[in-house]
Copies of this chain bind each other. A is one copy, B any other.
Amino acid sequence: MTEHRREELLERVTDHVLAHGLIGLSLRPVAAAVGTSDRMLIYHFTSRDALVSAVVARTNERAMAAVAALPSAATVHDGVNQLWAAYRTEPLHSAMDVYCQAAVTGLIGREPYLTDARANGELWAGALRAYLVRCGAPTSRVARLVTLVDSALFGFHLDLITDDPAELAQGVDDLARAAEALARS
Q: A interface vs B, CB < 8 Å?
A: 20-21, 23-24, 97, 100-101, 103-110, 114, 117-118, 121-122, 125, 143-144, 147-148, 150-163, 167-168, 170-171, 174-175, 177-178, 181-182
Contacts and interface: CB of A to CB of B under 8 A. Distances in A.
Copies of this chain in the oligomer: 2
Given A100-B104, A101-B108, A105-B23, A154 B144 contact: no
B161 A151 contact: no
27 contacts: A100-B104, A101-B104, A104-B104, A104-B158, A107-B161, A114-B161, A118-B162, A121-B159, A121-B161, A122-B162, A125-B162, A144-B167, A144-B170, A147-B163, A147-B168, A147-B170, A148-B175, A150-B155, A150-B159, A151-B152, A151-B158, A153-B155, A154-B154, A154-B159, A155-B155, A155-B158, A178-B178
